[in-house]
Amino acid sequence: MTSLALLQLVSPALPVGAFSYSEGLEVLIQAGSIADERAIQAWLEAELQRGAVRLEAAALRPFAEALVGWSTQADAAAKAHLLDLDGWLLATREAAELRAQQRQMGMSLVQLMSDMGHDLPEPVALSWPAAWAWAAVGLSVPAGDMVEGYLYGWVANQLSASVRLLPLGPSRAQVLQQRLPPMLASHAQLLHDVPLRIVQADEELHAYAEPTYDPGQFSLSVVLPYAELRGMRNVIERMKVFAEYIELVVKDDASLHGVDSQSAQLQLQVERDSLVTISTTYTNLGTVQTGGDGGGGGDDADGMRTASAMVEMKKIARVFSSLISSDVKLHSAIVCVLPMRAVVLKAFLSSSDSVGHSYEVFYFPVRAQ
């Protein structure tokens, strides 16, 4: 972040009242859930990975694009998109107090920009993320810096609240702030490229529904430990320059069906112009019983049950790129291949809770034949 204008926006002296808010941190501290430096760092990392601030940061680019279209071209559609996205994002905040906070900070920043000679085309109420995007547009802050600066400012505000609420001195808060920039930079780069739009039509919403499958349909699943997941991300990154689709093939020993063994394999394979084939095979993997023995797979000459599916490379590459990063703490994953239907990835996040792990599920439809 080199822009002097950006330094002004992330300054604690910015008169928007950000220092008055703690994003629920005060409640967690009062409940004893956060009591020291280690706990506040874990909370900050978790919020950056899965909290509301991540969604807000992803919305900055479409906000900025809509604001440019409205302010420079009097584009009514751009204005409508801006207000729709702003209203939707505000509605995702879980409490009236948080929505009031977002609106108050946003209007304070809009007023400040007006005082600095950057008026909106007409008066409208904007929440904090949209107002931040307007400030970045007005002060000519580069798009990537806009997202990184938003995350940096959010972290700085939470650490300021931590100093007031915890036995955490300003020096230790600065040490924490210094640890997080690599994570902020990686998130900013990813979130800047994430396409974000509001889905409203019923037919579109149906497309995002969790798919259903016949429990009796043949499928094979393998368990991948974290080390293999990291390696798979690197393999996929190298393979994606060769082909638009990647084939995933799961094999296990038919004679050991239903037995807890480490005999399964997962093969990743791409083909280019029917001339070059590149493949990587992971062996000695555990299996999970997830499907029936219906059609769609079969036993090969070596007595191995096989399930294969071909999916779009860029989709699976995007998921692995976002999951397998230095700041996302994964435990393991299950890869389930349903021939002719889908590939399902269930990624388990590390947890200190001995009861179990939280997880994320991704569905990849197979290539149409």
Q: Which among 44, 364, 65, 64 is positioned nearest to 187, based on CA atoms?
A: 44
Angle at 313 between CA 309 and CA 315, to 5 degrees: 100
Residue 232 in contact with residue 295, Cβ under 8 Å? no
Say what angle helices 226-239 and 313-323 make with each other, to 10 degrees. 140
Tens digits of residue pLDDT in 225-257: 888 888 888 999 999 988 999 999 999 876 655
pLDDT at 308 over 90: yes
Domains annotated on the chain, with CATH: 4-202 (1.10.4190.10), 220-365 (3.10.150.10)
**pLDDT of 296:** 47
Q: What pLDDT shows up at residue 335?
A: 94
Mean pLDDT of the chain: 84
Backbone φ and ψ of 50, nearest 5°: -140, 5
Global pTM reads 0.63
**What average pLDDT score do residues 140-168 get?**
90
Residue 260 has pLDDT above 80, yes or no: no
Whether the pLDDT of residue 300 is over 80: the answer is: no
Mean pLDDT of 84-99: 86
Residues 114-132: pLDDT tens digits? 999 999 999 999 999 999 9
pLDDT of residue 195: 65
Cα gap 119→321, rounded to integer Å = 39
Of 140-149, 188-197, 213-222, where does mean pLDDT reach its minimum? 188-197
Closest Cα to residue 311, out of 262, 243, 263? 243
127-155 average pLDDT score = 92
Of 353 and 161, the one with more pLDDT: 161
pLDDT of residue 2 exceeding 50: no
Contact 40, 171 (CB under 8 A): no
The position carrying tokens 């650490």 is 159
> How confident is the model at residue 256, as a pLDDT?
57
283 against 349, higher pLDDT: 283
Strand ordering across the sheet containing 245-253: 298-299, 304-312, 245-253, 264-272, 276-288, 220-225, 330-338, 342-349, 359-365
* pLDDT tens digits, 41-54: 888 988 888 788 88
What pLDDT sits at residue 48? 87
**Over 60: is that where the pLDDT of 305 sits?**
yes
Which residue's structure tokens are 């998921």? 319
